């Protein structure tokens, strides 16, 4: 491919990412798909409906990712999730901080993007503050603390942190065989667990999960296949077009929100270019807004008072810092990262659930005290 064809291919990648994010936003608005909401439902009411939706999405995403890898469409080792350095303390601390923050912030970053599309101005404040905190943790004052403390604690894994390569290295055998075996066992187990509801049919839950997984799998293909050039005509090196990490990406929201605010603030700076992550952030808001308009559920909503504002601000900061430290949010690590069978993603997800549980206990304590 010659250099003159790059802008057109980049536009295709961005357009595809935006369109898929519109579908994701509309689906989340229509079904109320939300990881924090799922944890809250289980904690407060013992209702596993939304948790089972998440199980179905995660299980199907694992199978979708492995299908793409097996077909040769993507390189499973080309994402940020499967590197050789396992930042286990960052995953646990950042995940717990993010999980706690999403309770105070009335939802994770993706949920706040969906709620913004429905007219929730509280979500706009949460997203802006989270973006500032995330940007500072990427390159600012908290980034210095992150690199100087948490990221000094790690385990170097010669074969990478994807479970299939770890198993092949420790036990023997082919990493491809292990990938299919682990994905089949975990993915099908999650799908089976998602299908076992007491009082409702299984197919709506599985359909919602499959829809979310289809978007994430399609984004892996867009970034890892459509947007991949084995040889960039400008540098003669492999390149993944329109990505901030310069590696294969799929759906995530915390770092892209920070990049989106930075892009808007520095729009005239030629070095600030539109990327896949920024396109997906905009697409989620647009998709949720279109669905809210179709449902006639769009309405403006603000803070109830100073106390409500304070809790949301603290939650936004926790999500911004924690999400970057953990290398993703509940979607970025909890579904996208987990689909790669990354050990770090499983650790981060477990910490997010634990942090959310602590956050719910804290909210309950506040209500009892009041």
Give the residue extent of every domain in the chain.
3-369
Exposed / middle / buried, residue 266 (Cβ in 10 Å: 0-12, 13-18, 19+): exposed
pLDDT-above-70 percentage for the chain: 99
| 8 Å CB contact between 319 and 112 | no
Given this model, what pLDDT does residue 271 score? 84
Residues pairing with 239 in the sheet: 229
Say yes or no to pLDDT of 324 above 60. Answer: yes
Count of Cβ atoms closer than 10 Å to residue 300 Cβ: 8
Each residue of 70-122: pLDDT tens digit?
999 999 999 999 999 999 999 999 999 999 999 999 999 999 999 999 999 99
| 8 Å CB contact between 19 and 290 | no
Query: Rounded to whole angstroms, what are the CA distances from 37 to 53, 184, 360?
Result: 11, 27, 11
Report, as an integer, the average pLDDT of 256-263. Answer: 96
Q: Please tell me the number of Cα atoms within 13 Å of 330 on its side-chain side.
A: 31
Report, as an integer, the average pLDDT of 261-268. Answer: 94
Report, as an integer, the average pLDDT of 226-242. Answer: 90
Given this model, what pLDDT does residue 243 score? 95
Each residue of 278-301: pLDDT tens digit?
999 999 999 999 999 999 999 999
Q: Which of the four pLDDT bands, split at 50, 70 and 90, describes residue 253?
A: very high
Each residue of 167-220: pLDDT tens digit?
999 898 889 999 999 999 999 999 999 988 665 678 889 999 999 999 999 999
Each residue of 132-170: pLDDT tens digit?
999 999 999 999 999 999 999 999 998 899 999 999 998
Given this model, what pLDDT does residue 200 score? 65
Given this model, what pLDDT does residue 234 score? 82
Q: Please tell me the number of Cα atoms within 13 Å of 193 on its side-chain side.
A: 18
Say yes or no to pLDDT of 230 above 60. Answer: yes
| 8 Å CB contact between 335 and 57 | yes
């Amino acid at each position: 491919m010659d250099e003159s064809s790059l802008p057109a291919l980049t536009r295709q990648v961005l357009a595809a990412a935006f369109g898929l994010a519109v579908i994701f936003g509309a689906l989340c608005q229509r079904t109320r798909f939300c990881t924090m909401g799922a944890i809250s439902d289980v904690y407060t009411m013992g209702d596993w409906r939304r948790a089972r939706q998440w199980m179905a999405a995660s299980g199907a995403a694992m199978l979708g990712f492995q299908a793409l890898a097996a077909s040769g469409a993507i390189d499973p080792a080309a994402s940020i999730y499967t590197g050789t350095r396992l930042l286990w303390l960052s995953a646990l601390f950042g995940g717990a901080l993010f999980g706690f923050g999403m309770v105070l912030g009335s939802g994770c970053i993706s949920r706040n993007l969906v709620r913004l599309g429905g007219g929730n101005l509280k979500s706009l404040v949460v997203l802006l503050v989270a973006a500032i905190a995330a940007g500072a943790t990427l390159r600012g004052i908290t980034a210095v603390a992150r690199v100087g403390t948490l990221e000094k604690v790690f385990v170097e894994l010669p074969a990478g942190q994807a479970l299939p390569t770890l198993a092949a290295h420790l036990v023997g055998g082919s990493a491809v065989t292990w990938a299919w075996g682990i994905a089949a066992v975990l993915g099908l187990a999650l799908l089976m667990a998602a299908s076992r509801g007491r009082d409702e049919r299984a197919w709506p839950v599985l359909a919602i999960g499959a829809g979310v997984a289809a978007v994430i799998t399609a984004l892996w293909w867009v970034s890892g296949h459509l947007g991949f050039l084995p040889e960039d005509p400008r540098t003669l090196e492999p390149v993944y077009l329109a990505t901030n990490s310069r590696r294969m990406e799929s759906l995530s929201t915390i770092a892209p929100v920070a990049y989106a605010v930075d892009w808007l603030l520095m729009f005239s700076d030629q070095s600030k270019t539109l990327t896949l992550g920024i396109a997906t952030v905009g697409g989620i808001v647009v998709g949720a807004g279109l669905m809210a308009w179709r449902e006639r559920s769009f309405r403006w909503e603000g803070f109830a008072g100073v106390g409500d504002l304070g809790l949301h601000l603290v939650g936004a900061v926790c999500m911004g810092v924690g999400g970057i430290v953990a290398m993703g949010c509940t979607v970025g690590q909890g579904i996208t990262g987990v689909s790669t069978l990354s050990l770090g993603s499983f650790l981060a997800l477990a910490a997010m659930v634990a942090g959310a549980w602590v956050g719910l206990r804290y909210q309950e304590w506040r209500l009892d005290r009041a």
